Homo-oligomer: A and B are copies of this chain.
Amino acid sequence: MASVVLRNIAKKFGKVEIVHDLSLVVESNALTVFVGPSGCGKSTILRCIAGLEEVSSGDVFIDNVRVNDVVPFKRGVGMVFQSYALYPHMNVYENMRFGLLSLGLPKAEIHARIEKAAEILALTPYLQRKPKQLSGGQRQRVAMGRALVRQPKVFLFDEPLSNLDAALRTKMRVEIARLRKSLGATAIYVTHDQVEAMTLADKIVVLRAGRIEQQGSPLDVYHNPVNRFVASFLGSPAMNFVPGRLRSGGAKSAQLEFQKGNPLEFSTNASFQSGTEVEFGIRPEHLTINPDLRGQLQGKVFAVEKLGDQALVHLMLDRANDSQAETTVVARLPWDMKCEVDTDLSLGFDPDRCHLFESHGTRLESSFH
């Protein structure tokens, strides 16, 4: 059953259209994540749902009720802002209470809810503090609490963690996940940190310039990106792209040339003429030092970054011919691997792991063998 439905919504600011005829179904009791580069319209869509912006056209439904003309307060949404937007002059308790008072709940009820939320969010000791007396993480929790106590139909998060430092972010990430599960609430979560996207989402919606590029479960989107953009956007370090050229072999089969020597055989139902420029993508974690693998990339190491538990090796590929542009790839290898900067290195990969993209970016259905 669907909790939030967007039907052909568009959003204009003055003349510029930011969101183009976008339709989307957000299942209830699930967490849907909007990801996309900065400026692609994530916040705008969220604000349209909340009612902070009016849609220029199309309809917004919450629990099957059309809410285009309903004021934000009555839409039953709770929002957590990137900057938290706490009321600086109220202490934590009052911050949470403000919304409830306008709901006209009985005092006891109000108190109970706040107590509960504070407990869940481990804010009980801080109820009397003013926002500026709190740490980033605590403020963040207060912001959530403020949404929580109103028991909204839908939670809206706009980059709630992006103001926290790395360590805290990881911590809060897990908390949010847990919390949501335990509440079984519906939530829409905007971020451009794709670790958050991957870990939190039941469903990922990848946006680009106000359009939906792909939606699906995180792993599905991660492993079967429909185009180059999605592929490059998820995963860090990002997927490596290596230019190549197609040579048609027999029926339904073809060859991929990318560096000197051994082309890769693969089969496809797609039709193309021989010589088409393509790119194939391979993720850093799928590159290993293993000469036995069918795919091999030769190049010169130009940087090695050792994180304690792993090492990122940056490889400058040898070019098929001088006309070719320089290509670099990154491989994630075990931290204790031995390799020197400026030495030659060959990275192996399993062709099944890699994706073919046409020059205009869409993925080319194919199976290597």
Contacts and interface: CB of A to CB of B under 8 A. Distances in A.
A166 B178 contact: no
A195 interface: yes
Contact of A238 (B38, B167, B199, B284): B167
A222 to B, nearest CB: 4
A224 B287 CA distance: 29
A195 B234 CA distance: 19
Contacts of A238: 167
Interface string A296-324: 00000011011111101010000000000
A306 B198 contact: yes
B335 A219 contact: yes
Interface string A218-229: 110011000000
A198 B307 contact: yes
Contacts of A306: 198-199, 218-219
A83 B315 CA distance: 32
A263 to B, nearest CB: 27
Interface string A23-39: 00000000000000010
A174 B314 contact: yes
A192 B178 contact: no
B332 A199 contact: no
B308 A219 contact: yes
A355 interface: no
A69 interface: no
Contact of A170 (B167, B236, B332): B236
In this complex, the interface size class of chain A, counting residues with CB under 8 Å from chain B, is 35 or more
Given A218-B308, A235-B308, A332-B309, A38 B303 contact: no
Contacts of A236: 166-167, 170
A222 B284 CA distance: 23
Contact of A165 (B192, B198, B303, B310): B192
Interface in A176-197: 177-178, 192-195
Nearest to A38: B165
Interface in A272-294: 283-285
Contacts of A234: 308
Interface in A1-19: none
A115 B308 CA distance: 38
A198 B308 contact: yes
A237 interface: yes
Nearest to A177: B303
A202 B128 CA distance: 46
14 contacts: A166-B192, A166-B194, A166-B236, A174-B303, A198-B306, A199-B305, A199-B307, A218-B308, A219-B306, A223-B308, A235-B308, A235-B309, A283-B309, A285-B310
Interface pairs A-B: 7 shortest CB-CB? A222-B308, A199-B305, A285-B309, A198-B307, A166-B193, A235-B308, A174-B303
